[in-house]
Amino acid sequence: MQKHLLTEEHLMFQEAARAFVKKEVVPFHDEWEKQGCVSRELWQKAGQQGMLCTDFPEKYGGLGLPDFRYNAIVGEELAFVGASGPGFILHNDVVAPYALKYFTEEQKARWMEKMVLGEIITAIAMTEPGTGSDLAAVATTAIKKGDRYILNGSKTFITNGILSNLVIVVAKTDPSQQHGGISLLVVEEGMKGFTRGKNLEKIGLKAQDTAELFFEDVEVPVENLLGKEGQGFIYLMQNLPQERVSIASIGIAGAEAALDLTIKYCKERKAFGRPIGKFQNSRFKLAEMKTEITIARTFVDQCILELNAGKLSVEKAAMAKYWVTDLQCKVMDECVQLHGGYGYMSEYPIARAYTDSRVQRIYGGTNEIMKEIIGRSMGF
């Protein structure tokens, strides 16, 4: 975020987050990309340093700071160094709000402190092999039988899918209904019938574990229902704006980092006896990117402040997600072009940033869906 929007406490937290990323993430990220997964120890270290679930109450080990600026700092510090592996953003920005809003006191006592400490790693399982943005069409079922739900189905493209030991699963508790039949169940590692597929191989985000999840007659206690039965779709819709602002936040940070890399390259790389940044085309491209990134940064920060105030609309969050991630991908493409052949080499950070950024326009609701949301808000 822009410095003038941060308090002294935010700046201290930012400094701590930056130091943590520099020490505990940057030196190991290349190896994690080869492994396809970060270490569990990283999560525990992040928990010890207060990087996880900062908005959880102090009684559960959190900082008691319901301020998304802290979340944005963690996500942006990772984005600034191209560290796409740690799934902290999903844990902090996507799953934590469900815990805060819908966990019962008993569930809070069971799971919250371990989430703060990184001992519990979370995931949320929405997408299915045959169902993407159309959540009303989920085929996974959870049929109540006595004091249990019998869960059957499969999910795919699940972030933290390998490391997670607590998964919020979107399922139909009433298959005869559409939106009204959806509920959220918390599935724990070790439940009989809950298995994971392979760590999926992606074109980017190589260090981030993304997996298929399978549920075959999994007996989920009724105590693991999240909130009320049949309210799952409403809960998802209420929490998606924060997820989309989170995506926009790391998107603009990634674009800023790519521009910084490219400016440095354009000052050092020479052609025809002078730095390539001296050529008009290069200067114009850099000027265009700087301008658009500045506009996007201002908009994203505004959205974060509105989110904090409880005033962010669904359509404005959709605007931020769609426009910023489109810009992010445009910036990455321009930066690769300015790097020339070196930009196509995986050893160069800009090449990895290019492939990592592409999924931003897909997850959290595709950008086409974002435009649909905006269009409907206009009365169409």
DSSP letters along 110-142, please? HHHHHHHHTSS-EEEE--BTTBSS-GGG---EE
**CATH code for the structural domain at 3-120:** 1.10.540.10
How many residues are recorded in the chain?
380
Is the pLDDT score of 134 beyond 90? no
* 243 carries an active-site annotation: yes
For the chain, what are the domain ranges? 3-120, 123-230, 233-377
Task: Point out the catalytic residue in the list 76, 77, 212, 243.
Answer: 243
* Mean local confidence (pLDDT), 200-210: 97
pLDDT of 186 > 80? The answer is yes
Q: What is the pLDDT of residue 320?
A: 98
Q: Which CATH class is domain 233-377?
A: mainly alpha
User: Dihedral through CA 330, CA 328, CA 257, CA 65, nearest 10?
Assistant: 170
- Model confidence at 246, pLDDT cuts 50, 70, 90, reads very high
Contacts of 67 (CB under 8 A, 6+ apart): 54, 55, 308
245 touches 322 (CB < 8 A): no
123-230 is classed CATH 2.40.110.10 = yes
DSSP-derived secondary structure letter, 210: E
Under DSSP, is residue 171 helix (H, G, I), strand (E, B) or coil?
Answer: strand
- Is there a contact between 72 and 1 (Cβ–Cβ < 8 Å)? yes
Condensed to tens digits (0 to 9), the pLDDT of residues 310-367 reads 999 999 999 999 999 999 999 999 999 999 999 999 999 999 999 999 999 999 999 9
Give the pLDDT band (50/70/90) at residue 276: very high
Residue with tokens 């966990």: 103
> pTM value?
0.95
Structure tokens at 377: 């808000």
User: What is the spatial distance between Cα 207 and Cα 84, in angstroms, rounded to a whole number?
Assistant: 7
Which pLDDT score is estimated for 380?
Answer: 85
Distance CA 66, CA 81 (A): 26
